Structure 1
Amino acid sequence: MTSWKTAYRSLYYEGAPEPPDPILVKGKTALLVIDVQNTYFERPDRASLSGAERARYDAWTPFHERMAGTVMPTIQRLLQRFRDGGLEVIYARIACQTGDGRDRSLSQKKPGWNDLLLPKDEHASQIPASIAPKPDEIVVIKTTDSALTGTNLRLTLTNIGISHVICCGVFTDQCVASTVRSLADESFDVIVVEDACAAGDHALHLKELEIMNMIYCHVMSADELIGYLP
């Protein structure tokens, strides 16, 4: 099995020295679950769809299979390990404060797939029960791609003494990537858990990991990460 120290390398980092082992300390390490919400699990009955709609439905099937078979079980495993170890668990979710979404950022108002109208109290914007926050776990609400830019998350992380942020969720090439870059720019040490993330297309998932790795974060599997947790 290829080690995280040599995997997901872009042209920029071919031949670069292997990174050192991370030092993850209780009280300074947090898990951040990004945008895993009911809206991304709800699908219409395929039989009710037209030809073009069925083609789009089928194009998204691999994403849903990865979420059900890999990502959600991995997130559940990470949550259990962090909670058992007394480590911080934080969630970010997309949700607007208004019913018509007028408070959303421009990227969430543009026509097309990213036109997200998720009022904060509606079912679609909620975190699924299978990974729901426990009492006293922090949840930030955002109308931006980056969980840092659109919330008080940076201040919160600083207030509770976090230096290492472990990121997972959806979508690898959008809100996960945007959050990772923001965290890196604020000098947080970031790890992305590969098998706890997904993009709409798996090729985009893999390419985004390669783009982010070694500069904005380090990319690991859940097994590799857990080996470093206190």
Structure 2
Amino acid sequence: MSWKTAHRSFYYQNAPAPEDPVLIPQETALLCIDVQNYGMELHDDPDERARWAPFHARMQGTVIPTLRGLQERFRANGIDVIHARIACLLDNGRDRSLSQKLPGWNNLLMPLSSDASQIIPELAPARGEIVVTKTTDSALTGTNLRLILQNMGIRTLVVTGIYTDQCVSSTVRSLADESFRVILVEDCCAAGTDELHRQELAIINMIYCHVMTSAELIDLMQLS
């Protein structure tokens, strides 16, 4: 099954196959979202460590090596790679959005200079690459990324990162609402569970983005 028929929701179950998007290198950028140290930390509690084991297995076995390879291909072809990360500008986190302050798992207090807020070494920005810092789920509404993309003439974003059903999805929807063309690379993303990952892909595919694999994207863009 190709990207043209995969990940279909109820709304698009019988829709015709989409045409191949035209991806002009000068108008395209790879956007890597929130692959930071905090997401790679192992839980001290044995039960929580076991519960998150499938996520870490997907990250180490699929997402990190695949995204690293995609970054290298984009760089080799002179296509921009942009990074977004969660971090607060104030140590007490007063500058965070409400969704980052509510009690629970999503309550992230990570000052800008903390180790937890840094992008993991395997996917670290290359010299000169843009890194935006956000205090919201969406990398677009929480930063000046919209202005940056407009100034650079970028019209298509290839979106990757974590978590598929949270910051990735929020960014995809924001980009689509601002009339950017969006491709989500499914094997360069992960959610807390594979089920959540697949569910979110079906929800956002064909209305907010086109979901495809890294291999399909590489073939479409003819990346060497």
Instruction: Report what 1:9 is aligned to.
Output: 8
In the aligned structure 1, how far is the partner of 2:152 from the partner of 2:217?
21
Instruction: Report what 2:217 is aligned to.
Output: 225
> Deviation string for 1:96-126 (max 9, x for gaps)?
0011111111000111100101101111100
Pair 1:64-2:60 in alignment: no
In the aligned structure 1, how far is the partner of 2:47 from the partner of 2:38?
20
Pair 1:154-2:152 in alignment: no
Percent identity reads: 61
Which one of the candidate residues 176, 182, 190 is aligned to 1:198?
Answer: 190
CA positional deviation for 1:44: 4.1
Instruction: Report what 1:122 is aligned to.
Output: 114
CA positional deviation for 1:228: 1.7
**Secondary structure at 1:80 match in 2:** helix
CA positional deviation for 1:42: 1.3
**Secondary structure at 1:228 match in 2:** helix
| Aligned AA (2:53) | T
In the aligned structure 2, how far is the partner of 1:94 from the partner of 1:163?
24
In the aligned structure 2, how far is the partner of 1:103 from the partner of 1:163?
29
| Aligned AA (2:100) | Q
Instruction: Report what 1:49 is aligned to.
Output: none
Q: Structure 2 unaligned segments of length 5 or more: list them.
A: none
CA positional deviation for 1:54: 2.2
Query: TM-score if structure 2 supplies the norm length?
Result: 0.97
Query: TM-score if structure 1 supplies the norm length?
Result: 0.95
Which one of the candidate residues 200, 209, 213 is aligned to 2:201?
Answer: 209
In the aligned structure 2, how far is the partner of 1:30 from the partner of 1:13?
27
| Aligned AA (1:20) | E
Instruction: Report what 1:174 is aligned to.
Output: 166
> Deviation string for 1:15-56 (max 9, x for gaps)?
1111110111111000000000001111145xxxxxxx3222
| Aligned AA (1:218) | H
Report how many residues are paired.
Answer: 222
Instruction: Report what 2:71 is aligned to.
Output: 79
> Deviation string for 1:114-145 (max 9, x for gaps)?
01011011111000111110111110000000
RMSD: 0.9
CA positional deviation for 1:176: 0.2
Q: Which moved more, 1:214-223 or 1:13-22?
A: 13-22
In the aligned structure 2, how far is the partner of 1:228 from the partner of 1:131?
23
Instruction: Report what 2:20 is aligned to.
Output: 21
Distance 1:12 1:44, change over 3 A: closer
Q: Structure 1 unaligned segments of length 5 or more: list them.
A: 46-52
| Aligned AA (2:29) | A
